[in-house]
Amino acid sequence: MYKGTVLITGASGFLGSHIAARLIDQGYKIRATFRSESKSQLFLNVLGGKNIETCIVADITAPGAFLGAIVGADFVIHTASPFTFKITDIKKDLIEPAVEGTTRMLEAIASSSNVKRVVLTSSFAAVVDPTKGPRAGYSYTGPVLKPRVEEDWNPMTPEKALENNLFGYQASKTFAEKAAWDFIDSKARNGKTPSLVTICPPMIFGPVHPASGITKDALNESSAQLLHAMTSADPAPTRMPVFVDVRDVAQAHVDALDVAKIPNSERFVVCAGKFTWAAIKEIYESGAASAESMSPANDYYSISTKKIEEMMGIKWIGLQSSVKDALQSLDVKSKI
């Protein structure tokens, strides 16, 4: 007996490939969208065709992009959104794909009477307030007690978003998540709506999944930053020193489909702890991070994960295991 069919976007991504594999392992059928046939074929070659449908959505911002893919889906996990700083146009390359891609998915969900729950991959970038600086001693919570009453939101404006690529990325995640909540709220007023769970991770480390096609010669953004820190003579300061392992984020997405465990719409921040690029370099060189290399992170905020730990029972993978497993998956040997 299958638990239902999940439409998942971004299934060839660093995170999406892990989510897709876990969905299959945990009793779901999946319909995975890809931007190209080559990515679809690699995915099928690695995971096999059992309980997997694939479809090509070349442009997630196109009108009606997901109308065909949504038919018959019981759940939606929407992970597709750009995470790169190698761009030429902030609005065109970051904000519009994130917001319009989410909007196209919401339009498809509105056309379906079958979808019970939507899980959206948001980001800690939609939670953190960059105007407040490091905020030593402050703990970001994301939500407070009532569902969808958020204590922490990035106050990014459309004008501020265009100042630099980092602000543009933060804006893309903030605006996309807010669009999803606005959609759910409007549907609730009409008496018919699926529930929504948003997952807000900080920097994501950990192993790449073979179905993603990511290698050390074709890296995703966070893995590229990880390897760069290891090879830098003097690692850069860590301006957002909080992380989570990709496997924990993937499991949170799968658990979020369980309406018995998560009965209402929720917003979750996920985080395993703090890191610095210097600490990652030490793990690479000696196998462990020293208190000295980690100390700059103490000058920054932390993230409270009490809510998701209580509701999902997650036990976080630590920094050392996350980094070492990332290296192994990329066939990069540490110095020890």
Q: Provide the pLDDT confidence category of residue 92 given band limits of 50, 70 and 90.
A: confident
Beta strands in the chain (DSSP E): 5-9, 29-34, 52-56, 75-78, 117-121, 139-140, 195-200, 203-205, 242-245, 266-269, 273-274, 302-303
Q: Are residues 270 and 256 in contact, defined by beta-carbon separation less than 8 angstroms?
A: no
31 strand-pairing partners: 7, 53
Which has the minimum average pLDDT: 1-5, 96-100, 185-189? 185-189
Size of the chain in residues: 336
- Give me the residue spans of the domains in the chain: 5-329
* C-beta of residue 284 within 8 angstroms of C-beta of residue 335: yes
pLDDT in tens, 296-327: 999 999 999 999 999 999 999 999 999 999 99
Instruction: Report the pLDDT value the prediction gives residue 187, as an integer from 0 to 100.
Output: 74
Q: What pLDDT is recorded for position 45?
A: 94
Asked if 326 and 205 count as a contact pair (C-beta separation under 8 A), the reply is: yes
pLDDT band at 145 (very low <50, low <70, confident <90, very high): very low
- CA separation for the pair 7, 20 (Å, rounded): 10
Span 189-233, pLDDT tens digits: 666 678 999 999 999 999 999 999 999 999 999 999 999 999 898
How far apart CA 282 and CA 241 sit, in angstroms, is 15
Across 79-84, average pLDDT: 75
Exposure string over 162-182, b if 16+ CB within 10 A, otherwise e = eeebebbbbbbbbbbbbbbbe
pLDDT given at position 189 = 65
pLDDT of residue 36 exceeding 70, the answer is: yes
| pLDDT band for position 147 (cuts 50, 70, 90) | very low
Q: Is 103 helix (H, G, I), strand (E, B) or coil?
A: helix
Q: Please report the DSSP string for 203-247 in residue order.
A: EEESPPPGGGT-BTTB--HHHHHHHHHHH-SSPPP-SS-EEEEHH
List Cβ neighbours of 313 (8 Å cut-off, separation of 6 or more): none
Largest CA-CA distance found in the chain, in angstroms, rounded: 60
Residue 85 pLDDT exceeds 90: no
Region 72-98: mean pLDDT is: 85
Q: Are 78 and 119 in contact (CB under 8 A)?
A: yes
Asked if 265 and 245 count as a contact pair (C-beta separation under 8 A), the reply is no
Gap between the Cα atoms of 253 and 267, Å rounded: 12
Which pLDDT score is estimated for 191? 62
Residue 84 has pLDDT above 70, yes or no: no
Candidate from 48-52, 56-60, 143-147, 312-316 with smallest mean pLDDT: 143-147
Instruction: Write out the DSSP string of 172-183.
Output: HHHHHHHHHHHH
Give the DSSP H/E element, type plus range, for residue 194.
Answer: none
Phi-psi group of 116: left, alpha or beta (phi > 0 → left; psi -120 to 50 → alpha; rest → beta): alpha
CATH for 5-329? 3.40.50.720
pLDDT over 90 at 185, yes or no: no
The answer, yes or no, to whether residue 67 has pLDDT greater than 80, is yes
User: Which amino acid type is present at position 61?
Assistant: T
